[in-house]
Amino acid sequence: MKKPDKLNHNQAKKRLAWLAIAIKEHDQRYYQEDAPTISDAEYDSLRRENDYIETAFPELIRSDSPSRRVGASPSRGFSKVQHHVPMLSLGNAFTESDVEDFLARIHRFLNLDSKNTLGLIVEPKIDGLSISLRYERGHFSRGATRGDGFEGENVTENLRTLMEIPDRISGQAPDVLEVRGEVYINHSDFALLNQNREKNGATPFANPRNSAAGSLRQLNPAETAKRPLRVFCYAWGEVSDQFWRTQSEFYDQLSLWGFPVNPLSKVCYNLDEVLETYRVIETQRAFLDYDIDGVVYKVDRLDLQERLGFVSRAPRWAIAHKFPAEKATTVLRDIEIQVGRTGALTPVARLEPVTVGGVVVSNATLHNADEIKRKDIRIGDTLRVQRAGDVIPQVVEVVLEARPKDSAPYIFPNVCPCNQKTLTVRAPGEAVTRCSGEFSCPFQKVNRLKHFVSRDAFNIEGLGVKQVEAFFKLGWIRVPSDIFDLKNHKVVLSELEGWGEKSVSNLLTAIEDCRKISLDRVIFALGIRQTGQATSNLLAYHYENFQNWISAMLLAAKERSECISTVKTPEKVGGAFFELCSIDGIGISMADDLCNFFSDHRNVVELNRLAEILTIQDFQRPESNNSEVSGKTVVFTGSLDTMTRAEAKAGAEKLGAKVSGSVSRKTDFLVAGPGAGSKETKAKELGITILNEQEWRLLTGLDG
């Protein structure tokens, strides 16, 4: 990959768009399907690249950025559980300098002198499945998986089968206590489990992490009870009375309540001590009876955790320091080109099967043409690959001394696999090569349909990838609205192999059940480029109902044409396009893609048909948390005395406010300190309420 300082603005924008799509797909495979298709190391590399580019180009951070989400939506096999306190993920460190930077950021955020002693809990990062255990008046009442961090799966009865989870806790405990931890399987238990499976003619599990996840998500708790699941606890969610003052005190309390806590956890007080503990745990890794893939560092004092708060999908006060990846060599047998729903051509390496860290792998994504050219990857090459605990390796480099004499550079196709006459295109500065066929490309058509019925979209039970492909081949569904006409093929469908009267009835019932759906899910289901779940939520929040959104987008598309033809900025054109660009988290790049979608008459026709056959629910705004600034847009400018700018922004967002970097008619409050400048001038012109720092603290209750 190019370093951020080597990318221009357009290249960075395009790369972030590709990363958002790729990382979301891998999140779904890992968190929903327990079947990852890339290694931890390759996944971490993608997230790290995304973070680097966002740091270099903060104005390009997307509302559907991987840095703003964690995990994936829950499976339909279990009822859903809303997490009152989100179960978020951790940022990653890969080098000692990353850890040093992490500590420096904390000191800057809190305005601490570098000499100030800062206690950190250091503990192994368990490679398992995150869970939440809710206790009411000391009794275990509900257990859930993390899911997408906000909504998980109810696996209460399955968790009751784990002997290490107390059914009742005694002693001093809050009336409501949510304990969080990680479910895993010991190496020795895993080996015995696979021996028994082989004796019974069953396929052995690939690795302990996938085995633990699959075991916990058995629909029959009796099956879970047969699996040797264990747990380590390390955090809390919702509590009615938090009486511990540090993370380490909480761990002591967990032990008193009877929850397992990792014995290797300890408090360190400086960078050298932290890194030395990391090295010790890394050395012990090979002798532990459970998988770990790194070490976690957490600020020990809870008052400092509270001040630091969260950024996007992770807390500022914690980070995971990952271990180096394992490596192996194998031969590249072929490169296969896959075409996604946006027309992106992704090269996939077909490898000679190789065992890396106990797992057999045979495929790896090669990302794009630039990646193949940069590493000079050729069919027949011997490749050095690496993994860090999962299935598909990352291609590290070519072993040049083993290259066949007759090898030739790989030539990326200039025609799409869909049609020998359909050329591929690559926009200037963009890394992705795309099929130019768009609506004529069957791969794009069928993948858009797969996206439409995916879990985060319409989530139609019984209509998966294979069914969509089959119905597309039969010509029954070509656009999303055709799905709701499948009842017209009921007789023929029931006669097809693999289908019967019951399965057909279940499918048609599931389709009818999905006619009533929320606005944000519909927007996401359309598969508009750069419009992920977060962006869909923003659009639904802003426009409130389907017709408002369609009308605004059509007008915005028209006004955008005026911007291009007159070389005017959105602000000078005004109207719907400027309003769209001004939504916090949207920006011109996303607005352009939305307008491109609505500029195509075929898309508009399909949207109107969906509006006729569906009941699309208006967006339900969340209830106010009684904060004076909840739902308001706030801009900070000038210098602040009692808190850093980052702390002020985090505090406002915690109270439900939206923080913007620019003043517009949508701004409710401008918090101005010394050196406010042009933003204060514009706020006065627009009649916006201007507060000084003390007035802001009084309004938000920070001084009371």
pLDDT in tens, 465-510: 899 999 999 999 999 999 999 999 999 998 888 888 888 999 999 9
User: Which of 258-262, 368-372, 665-669, 695-699 tops mean pLDDT?
Assistant: 258-262
Residue 182 β-bridge partners: 130, 232
- 516-518 vs 615-617, strand pairing mode: parallel
- Map out the domains of the chain as residue ranges: 4-64, 80-322, 520-617, 633-700
| Between 665 and 140, the higher pLDDT residue | 140
Q: Has residue 256 got a pLDDT over 80? A: yes
Question: Collapsing DSSP states into helix, strand and coil, what is residue 337?
Answer: strand
Give me the CATH topology for the region 633-700.
Rossmann fold (3.40.50)
pLDDT score for 381: 95
pLDDT score for 312: 58
Alpha carbon of 357 to those of 26, 284, 350, 390, 422: distances in Å? 20, 17, 19, 9, 42
Closest CA to 396 of 406, 408, 405, 388: 388
**Vertex 491, ends 489 and 495: CA angle to 5°?**
110
Taking the CA atoms of 28, 131, 313 and 531 in sequence, report the sign of the dihedral they define.
positive
Q: Are 149 and 208 in contact (CB under 8 A)?
A: no
Tokens of 504: 């057909």
pLDDT score for 73: 57
HEC profile of 370-392? HHHHHHCCCCCCEEEEEECCCCC
Band (pLDDT 50/70/90 cuts) for residue 232 is very high
Q: Which range among 93-97, 207-211, 347-351, 618-622 shows the weakest confidence by mean pLDDT? A: 618-622
pLDDT score for 391: 46
Chain position carrying tokens 């006729």: 612
Residue 349 neighbours by CB under 8 Å, 6+ apart: 332, 334, 335, 363, 364, 365, 366, 377, 383, 395
Q: Has residue 63 got a pLDDT over 70? A: no
Q: Has residue 583 got a pLDDT over 90? A: no
Taking the CA atoms of 375, 377, 382 and 387 in sequence, report the sign of the dihedral they define.
positive
Band (pLDDT 50/70/90 cuts) for residue 313 is low
Four-way CATH pick for 80-322: 3.40.50.300, 3.40.50.720, 3.20.20.140, 3.30.470.30: 3.30.470.30
| Between 426 and 170, the higher pLDDT residue | 426
Q: Which range among 109-123, 182-196, 400-414 shows the weakest confidence by mean pLDDT? A: 109-123
Q: Has residue 14 got a pLDDT over 80? A: yes
Mean pLDDT of the chain: 86
Residue range 449-459: mean pLDDT, rounded: 90
Q: Has residue 274 got a pLDDT over 90? A: yes
* Helical residues (DSSP H) of 260-299, grouped into ranges: 271-284
Closest CA to 73 of 616, 537, 654: 537
pLDDT score for 564: 67
Residue 347 β-bridge partners: 337
Q: Has residue 361 got a pLDDT over 50? A: yes
Closest CA to 70 of 53, 98, 47: 47
In CATH, the architecture of 520-617 is: Orthogonal Bundle (1.10)
pLDDT score for 5: 62
pLDDT score for 71: 55
The strand order across the sheet containing 176-184 reads 139-145, 129-136, 176-184, 230-239
| Between 656 and 294, the higher pLDDT residue | 294
Q: Has residue 48 got a pLDDT over 50? A: yes
Chain position carrying tokens 């238990």: 189
Q: Per-residue pLDDT tens for 513-549?
A: 999 999 999 999 999 988 988 788 889 878 889 999 9
Q: Per-residue pLDDT tens for 180-227?
A: 999 999 999 998 988 888 888 877 887 888 889 888 988 888 888 889
Count of residues for the chain?
Answer: 704
Q: Has residue 404 got a pLDDT over 90? A: yes
**Positions marked active-site:** 125
CA 247 – CA 231 distance, rounded (Å): 18
Alpha carbon of 121 to those of 132, 234, 460, 488, 532: distances in Å? 21, 11, 44, 61, 35
Q: Has residue 390 got a pLDDT over 50? A: no
Q: Which range among 310-319, 387-396, 421-430, 546-555 shows the weakest confidence by mean pLDDT? A: 387-396
Q: Are 92 and 48 in contact (CB under 8 A)?
A: yes
Q: Are 237 and 146 in contact (CB under 8 A)?
A: no
In our burial notation (b when 16+ CB lie closer than 10 A, e otherwise), range 112-148 reads eeeeeebbbbbbbbbbbbbbbbbbeebebeebbbbbb
pLDDT score for 11: 85
Tokens of 664: 């517009």
SS percent in the chain: helix, strand, coil, step 5: 40, 20, 35
Question: Collapsing DSSP states into helix, strand and coil, what is residue 132?
Answer: strand
Q: Measure CA 339 to chain center.
A: 22
Residue 569 neighbours by CB under 8 Å, 6+ apart: 563
pLDDT score for 644: 76
Closest CA to 330 of 351, 356, 360: 351
In CATH, the architecture of 4-64 is: Orthogonal Bundle (1.10)
